[in-house]
Chains A and B, each alone.
Chain A
Amino acid sequence: MSSSAEGSSHDPVDDAERSVARRESNDAWAATSLLISGVLVWGGVGYLVSLWLGSPLFTMAGLLVGTATALYGIWFRYGRS
């Protein structure tokens, strides 16, 4: 609660700190969401292919591809700076 209750602060240093904090907390939640999605999307596609072709290997491949892609996406978006 650094800023006063009256009006928002326009201190540039404060704003810069806030914007970094904002980006970081947003990134943390987005990364979790992306990991879950990676497993669900490509794991799900793999599962459907497994049902179709009758081999469980496609589910495993899908899960691995999904996790790897999500990790790559997280690294690309948030991990390089």
Chain B
Amino acid sequence: MSSLLAAASHVAALGRALDTTSEGGKKVFESPTKNDFNFPGIFGGQDGWFTKPVLIVVLMTVVCFAFYYASSRNAKIVPGRLQFAGESLYGFIRNDVAIDAIGHDGLRWAPYLATLFSFVALNNIAGIIPVLQIPATSHIAFPLVLAVFSWLIYMYLGISKHGAWGYFRDMMFPPGIPWAVYILLAPIEFFSTVIVRPLTLMLRLTFNMFAGHLVLVLFISAADYLLLDYSNTAVGAPVGVLSLLLSLVLTGFEAFVQLLQAYVFTLLTALYIGGALADEH
């Protein structure tokens, strides 16, 4: 995440350098800002709540449902292409995420985790789908809700399995540490499990998507500016072409990051569930 943020700030600085090199009378290059993430309401005017990211979430929910419904309806022993795709995806999450991270109890959580992965992946990948072109998950509200779900699930499971006292005792007081160290260590363990976990879950997803979108906007708008408004200079045309080529490469890179972050979010949720259910060793 940090490398992406560093890259984003680096290219943003490049964008500001371009600002200052524009000559009088010419169109000035505008660096992308966080305003590129604000959309007017589709209904109810500028301040309407139903914005493009909300539309994407609704659309992707429908796509997610339709995909799993279509791939499991009329399931055959020799699967067709669609059924094979659905079963491969579900099987991957079930075996390599749910059972690997949680153990045999993981089977119960496979449906939730597969849904979570598909939903996050689709909302991430919206960032590079033409026309949609914004990852809905770059708006912190959506990762926030998903992180709260994960938090509620593992806290509930931990407390119902070990009892409230047992769960927090295992979390904060691992046996065998000198008692004086508990004073220093217990608050850290508590903070780590109860606050840092959901917080990092939310921030990791949001800002990977935020920074990735910012990088794409910068390279594409720089290519647009350099090629259309600045191409009659020695710098404009070649750098514009370079910027355009890089925007294509980075779009591919973004596809990778978007799928990876969906996987990481799902894997961590599974690991937290596994940790809550584990017997203290």
- On A, residues with C-beta under 8 Å from B are 1-3, 5, 8, 18-19, 21-22, 25-26, 29-30, 33-34, 36-38, 40-42, 65-66, 69-70, 72-73, 76-77
Contact = CB atoms under 8 A, between A and B. Distances in A.
Contact of A34 (B95, B189, B195): B189
Contact of B192 (A1, A30, A72, A76): A30
Interface in B246-281: 267-268, 271, 274-275
Interface of B: 87, 91-92, 95-96, 99-104, 107, 174, 176-177, 181, 184-185, 187-189, 191-193, 195-197, 200, 267-268, 271, 274-275
B174 A34 contact: no
A1 B191 contact: no
| Chain B residues touching A, majority SS | helix
Given A3-B95, A69-B184, A30 B275 contact: yes
Contacts of A37: 188-189, 191-192, 195-196
A72 B182 CA distance: 11
A22 B196 contact: no
A66 B99 CA distance: 35
A1 B195 CA distance: 33
Which 9 A/B pairs are nearest by Cβ-Cβ distance?
A37-B192, A69-B184, A37-B191, A5-B91, A33-B192, A37-B188, A38-B188, A34-B192, A26-B271
Contacts of A36: 192, 196, 200
